[in-house]
Amino acid sequence: MPLFAKSEEILKRNQRSIPGGVVSTNRAVDPPIVFERGEGAWMWDADGNRYLDYHAAFGPYVLGHNDPYVNEAVLRVLQDKASLFGSGTTELEGKLAQLICDSVPFVEAVQLLNTGSEATYQAIRLARAATGRKHILKPQGGYHGWHNDVAFNLMTPLSQLGDRRVADEYPRIPISAGIPEEHQSLVHAINFNDLASVEAMCERYPVAALIVEPILQNIGVVHPREGYLQGLRALADKHGFVLIFDEVKTGFRHALGGYSTLSGVRPDLVVYGKAIANGFPISALAGKRSLMNLFVDADSTRRVLLAGTYNGHPVPVAAAIATMERLAEDDGEVYRHLDRLGKRVQAGMEEIFRSVGITAHIARQGSAFCPYFMDHLPKDWHDLAQHHDFDFDLRLRRELLDHEVYFFQLAVKQCSLSAAHTDADVDFTLESVKSALKSVLTVAS
Ligand code: PLP
């Protein structure tokens, strides 16, 4: 194991003023590595160890750390004395909104916010205002941010969840204290890849919206089964709820138009974040003009409040424009590169596990992948929680640190390639997986 003396010292010092020492509690993992520098596909920690990065800070780094083109655009707006004026509009924010409209066929209007959580919050509020209903559906195993409408049923232990019974409701399991009962009663967890569970909830409650990652990426990579997203579209039309695709993680990572364009299914609203600005803080809420116009409805009793001191800050806006320009270069060469490397990692890892008799499947969508130690690809959280070997997964991730590869230190967390990863990096990764696996198996035997 590399030495983490300086990391431990910094964490201890930070704990004096920051509860837990971290500013987002899901960053508190063991070992408590303090990273200092990131360039391209690599990161360096306070003790001088280096790591090939597959965490990508929970997804934003589609181009790699400190991409020179994006950084240059940011430096340029600062040199030009662009600033936050908080009054009226700017040419830059209009340019970004138009770029999003031009990239995604079903998007008719856009608003800019700062984080994914803010954007999913606003999407749900729009849906409630449009439908006059209160109830929200979200999948077990999906993550949509930290707020009261969605902070439920993520990696829920099966002991709390019980058997999967379509007609019965899942127990509602908050992932935070402090959510009032009244709020909790309006949120219902459905089963991913299971249209009957949505239908059952629609018969029971007046549903304002279903919010869903079109491909689950907060429990690895769980694909929608054939026809599932089309089925959700049909159910939204039948029952009159607003279909919200949460593409905060999948949006610009999988295609310029997001996973929606790959699937051909059009949600009513879509939310982007993370990869849209390659690490700079911005999110976007987009979709049908009829819904988005509620932000400016002439009738004040129908109007939805949209406010944010930092909305459209020129630094992340410039970063997003530059990121989208890079992603559009050469008719999507970045995506072809990511997919090619993703295929190599997937095939290479599958071969390594097969060669030593370990049962494993690598789920993958383009640059995002996740090893599952089970005999099939998971179709939902229940399936995964029942069959995946969580202990082995974590032991392998730990061991990989010794071999200069950083997979997030939590089982079933998705790994992400960036455009800065090279074929040589993939070779390095596969060698590291081989060596790490050998050590894990030696210790086990
Ligand atoms: N939606 C999805 C799918 C996410 O993965 C995340 C964050 O991981 C969010 C929403 C919340 O975004 P943020 O952390 O920017 O608030």
CATH of the domain at 251: 3.40.640.10
**297 and 245, same domain (yes or no):** yes
**214 and 134, same domain (yes or no):** yes
Please work out whether the CB of residue 114 comes within 6 Å of at least one atom of ligand 1: no
- pLDDT of residue 257 exceeding 90, the answer is no
The owner of tokens 């060669």 is: 355
The CB-side HSE value for 188 (13 A sphere, CA atoms) comes to 25
Question: 261-278: per-residue pLDDT in tens?
Answer: 999 999 999 999 999 999
Residue 116 Cα: closest atom of ligand 1: 12
DSSP string, 120-132: HHHHHHHHHHHH-
- pLDDT of residue 410 exceeding 70, the answer is yes
- pLDDT of residue 164 exceeding 80, the answer is no
Query: Which of 154, 244, 245, 249 to probe ligand 1 with, by most ligand atoms within 8 A of CB?
Result: 249
Question: 187-205: per-residue pLDDT in tens?
Answer: 999 999 999 999 999 999 9
Q: Please give the mean pLDDT across all residues of the chain.
A: 96
Please work out whether the CB of residue 58 comes within 6 Å of at least one atom of ligand 1: yes
Residue 281 Cα: closest atom of ligand 1: 15
Contact by Cβ (8 Å): 382, 140: yes
The CB-side HSE value for 393 (13 A sphere, CA atoms) comes to 25
**Least confident segment among 12-16, 156-160, 166-170, 385-389:** 166-170
Please work out whether the CB of residue 273 comes within 6 Å of at least one atom of ligand 1: yes
Protein residue with its CA nearest to atom 7 in ligand 1: 145
Domain that holds residue 51: 5-66+332-444
Protein residue with its CA nearest to atom 10 in ligand 1: 144
**209 and 344, same domain (yes or no):** no
Please work out whether the CB of residue 115 comes within 6 Å of at least one atom of ligand 1: yes
**309 and 361, same domain (yes or no):** no
**Residue that is last in its domain, among 303, 329, 355:** 329
Ligand 1 centre distance from Cα of residue 437 (Å): 31
Question: Average pLDDT for residues 213-218, to the nearest whole number?
Answer: 98
**44 and 183, same domain (yes or no):** no
**307 and 414, same domain (yes or no):** no
Cα distances (Å, whole numbers) of residue 82 to 117, 307, 318, 326: 26, 21, 10, 22
- What is the pLDDT, as a whole number, of residue 166? 65
**Residue that is last in its domain, among 261, 294, 329:** 329
Confidence grade of residue 169 (pLDDT, cut at 50, 70, 90): confident
Ligand 1 centre distance from Cα of residue 272 (Å): 9
**Residue that is last in its domain, among 269, 302, 329:** 329
**91 and 220, same domain (yes or no):** yes
Contact by Cβ (8 Å): 405, 429: yes
- What is the pLDDT, as a whole number, of residue 1? 65
Q: Residue 38 is part of a domain; what is its CATH number?
A: 3.90.1150.10
**195 and 262, same domain (yes or no):** yes
Mind telling me the catalytic residues?
143, 246, 274
- pLDDT of residue 2 exceeding 80, the answer is no
Task: Quote the pTM value.
Answer: 0.97
Q: How many domains does the chain have?
A: 2
Report CA dihedral (352, 354, 359, 360) to the nearest 10 degrees.
Answer: 50
- pLDDT of residue 443 exceeding 90, the answer is no
Residue 118 Cα: closest atom of ligand 1: 16
Please work out whether the CB of residue 117 comes within 6 Å of at least one atom of ligand 1: yes
**77 and 25, same domain (yes or no):** no
Buried b (16+ CB within 10 A) or exposed e, 405-434: bbbbbebbbbbbbbbbbeeebbebbbebbb
Question: 317-345: per-residue pLDDT in tens?
Answer: 999 999 999 999 999 999 999 999 999 99
**202 and 289, same domain (yes or no):** yes
Residue 115 Cα: closest atom of ligand 1: 15
Confidence grade of residue 359 (pLDDT, cut at 50, 70, 90): very high
Please work out whether the CB of residue 382 comes within 6 Å of at least one atom of ligand 1: no
Ligand 1 centre distance from Cα of residue 219 (Å): 13
Ligand 1 centre distance from Cα of residue 143 (Å): 7
Ligand 1 centre distance from Cα of residue 249 (Å): 7
Ligand 1 centre distance from Cα of residue 316 (Å): 17
The crossing angle, in degrees rounded to 10, of helices 314-328 and 91-103 is 30
Question: Average pLDDT for residues 422-428, to the nearest whole number?
Answer: 98
- pLDDT of residue 165 exceeding 70, the answer is no
Please work out whether the CB of residue 250 comes within 6 Å of at least one atom of ligand 1: no
Query: Which of 144, 152, 247, 260 to probe ligand 1 with, by most ligand atoms within 8 A of CB?
Result: 144
Question: Average pLDDT for residues 17-42, to the nearest whole number?
Answer: 95
Question: Average pLDDT for residues 395-407, to the nearest whole number?
Answer: 98
**345 and 416, same domain (yes or no):** yes
**221 and 112, same domain (yes or no):** yes
